A = this chain, B = another copy of it.
Amino acid sequence: MAKILVVDDDRELRENIAEVLTEAGFEVLKAESGEKALQLLGPAVDLVLLDLVMPGMGGMATLSLLKQHQPRLRVIMLTAFATVENAVEAMRRGADDYMTKPFKVGDLLMTVRKNLEEAKFQECHLALDMDQTFNCLSNPMRREILRCIGREGRIRFMDLARRLQIEDHTKMNFHLKLLREAGLVAQDERKLYTLTAEGRRVIGCMELLAHTLNPKV
A residues whose Cβ falls under 8 Å from a Cβ of B: 42-43, 71-72, 122, 125-127, 129-131, 133-135, 137-140, 143, 148, 151-152, 198, 201-202, 204-205, 207-214, 216-217
Contacts and interface: CB of A to CB of B under 8 A. Distances in A.
B152 A43 contact: yes
Contacts of A210: 71-72, 126, 130
Contacts of A125: 214
Contacts of A131: 140
A147 to B, nearest CB: 8
A212 B217 contact: no
Contacts of A140: 127, 130-131
Given A71-B207, A217-B71, A130 B151 contact: no
A213 B134 contact: no
Contact of A202 (B126, B129, B209): B209
A130 B139 CA distance: 10
A62 B121 CA distance: 46
Given A72-B217, A143-B130, A217-B122, A212 B202 contact: yes
A216 B151 CA distance: 28
A207 B205 CA distance: 10
A37 to B, nearest CB: 17
Nearest to A131: B140
Contacts of A72: 210, 217
Contacts of A134: 134, 137-139, 143
